[in-house]
Every structure is written in structure tokens, then in C-alpha cells.
Amino acid sequence: MTAAKQSGLGYAHRAGAVFAVVVSCLWAAPAQATTSCVVADPKDPSLNVRDAPRGKLINRLKNGRTVFILENRHDARNKLWAKVAGGYRGRWREWGWVFQDYLNCTLSEDLESRRSQVEKVHTRDLAANGIGWFVKLGVACPYQGEGHTLSFLPEFVSQYEQKGFSLTAMCLGLASEGVNYDPETGNPIPQYEAVGPDGIAGRYPFFLPRCYRSVRILAGQDTAWVRWTPDACTLAFHPVTGKRLRASGDVVLTTGAEAGDASPEPDADSTVTDARLRALLGRN
């Protein structure tokens, strides 16, 4: 199995991430760059893309294409626009500006129902079982941006190495919110929220399927956001939504954020027993 294509990356950060925006003469609103949306123009099979809000037409995106919102702005008529980007034929593309109303950013009902079943795991319990948020456990991930460095116990890394995983692939996969489904089978991946004084906002996978043994970086090396895709299998299902893919080259996952506040649940405790936690992490 090939190793990850690049390393020295910037990704996951502390809870309550403050999402980057570019402020101009138009009012700017923050956008969740980890959230994927689908182009859904109700009036046309494709959506106009412009070089600025109400600007020059530069492209069109077909309905059904998955994009990420990089930035939001209201124009002079108070219409909300979104600057979007995404994967295209295996490359990261920043497309331009589209009407926000013509993007469907609602997660599928299945994924929404699964979110209510997400376990809460205290960071001390995660650290005892191999995953260290904001602590040094022996094997540190490459650079992850401004907020922190994820680390692992050596024996935890060993169990992944035996399956052909590179350290970069482990770090990106286990620090990403979008790893919801196995891209090869479409099966859901159990998720957790890291709680406690050193917790982190978001939902993360307990384990990584074989598809994530190696990754290809599309954009964002040494920045707060890293765009990447798994490349150790045939991508048949979207890892974020679980929907069957029409074009595997359009899959993009995002790891990272800008440094923010501490965990919103500093006093919460784990909802799983240690034995079940070990099983979910693949340690039994």
C-alpha cells in the first residue's frame, strides 16, 4: 500500500472554531468550511457562478455537485451569496460566488438521526486508549495549524501501521468531522464528541476503514484548512453523506479550523464504558 502523498499538514483545532472570512465593503458572514452543500437550482439544471456577488458570470455548476462554502456575503440588495469550492476530477477548485438559496446544505435524514446517537468521550479516556487531544502521547501528528497537535500512543499507531496506514492518513482521518461513512461500502462509522476541559467541538470517527490507509492532499498544506481525499480503494459512496457517488474525483474532505474557544461541555463525562470504548477504537 502506498503511503500518504504529503505530510506537514495543518488541520483540526480547538472547539468553537471561528471560521475565516474576508471582510470587504460588503457585509461578510462566517461560513462553515467543513460543511458540504449540494448545488440545487430549482429553476435550472445548472447554477451560475460569478467572480463576485452580482459580478461577472465565469462558470456554471450542475445540480447535484458537492461544494464547500468558503465565505458568505450579502450584496447591496441584502441577498446572501456564497463563495464555493470543491473537488473536480481529483483536484481542488475554488469556483466563485453563487446564490446561497440555491445550495442545499441540509444533511440527510439518516445522518441527522445518527448525530443524536453520537457518544460523548472524555479526553482523559481517549488519551488512556491511544488518542491525545492537546496532550503528547508519544507519536505526534504533523503540523495541524494554529490550535493543537493530535498525538497517539505508539501501540495505537502500531495497530494502524499493521493495516497499511501512514501516519498522515491516520492524522487526517481521525481529526476530520466528515468521516461519517465507509466510501467503499457505504456503512456508517461510529462517531464521538470529545468532552471535558480540553475537549474539541465536532464529531469524529472512532476508527478508520481501509479506504483511508493512504490519502491525497488537494489543497491547504501548512494552512488552517486541509482539503484531501482517501485513495486506498474505489470510492463508491460519499464519506460525508453516505450517498452513492456519480464521480469519485469530486470527493473532498476537510480537516481543520482556526483556533477558537475551549470545549462547550467541560464538565461532561464519557457515555461509554472503557471496554466498549476499546472495542469502538479497534483495540480489542
DSSP string, 45-93: SEEEEESSTT--EEEEEETT-EEEEEEEEE-TT--EEEEEEEEETTEEE
> What element of type H or E holds 223?
none
Domains of the chain: 36-104 (2.30.30), 109-280 (no CATH)
CB 210 within 8 A of CB 232: yes
* Residue 8 reports pLDDT greater than 50: no
Handedness of CA 121, 144, 19, 225 (dihedral sign): negative
170-174 average pLDDT score: 92
The mean-pLDDT minimum among 17-26, 84-93, 101-110 falls in: 17-26
Q: What is the pLDDT of residue 201?
A: 80
* Residue 208 reports pLDDT greater than 90: yes
Q: What is the pLDDT of residue 126?
A: 95
Q: What is the pLDDT of residue 214?
A: 94
Q: What is the pLDDT of residue 129?
A: 95
Between 58 and 37, the higher pLDDT residue: 58
Q: What is the pLDDT of residue 81?
A: 94
Q: What is the pLDDT of residue 173?
A: 93
Q: In what order do the strands lie in the sheet with 200-205?
A: 119-122, 191-195, 200-205
The mean-pLDDT minimum among 14-18, 85-89, 243-247 falls in: 14-18
214-222 average pLDDT score: 80
Q: What is the pLDDT of residue 36?
A: 74
Q: Answer yes or no: pTM beyond 0.75.
A: no
* Residue 176 reports pLDDT greater than 50: yes
Nearest to 194 by CA among 131, 279, 140, 111: 131
Between 257 and 206, the higher pLDDT residue: 206
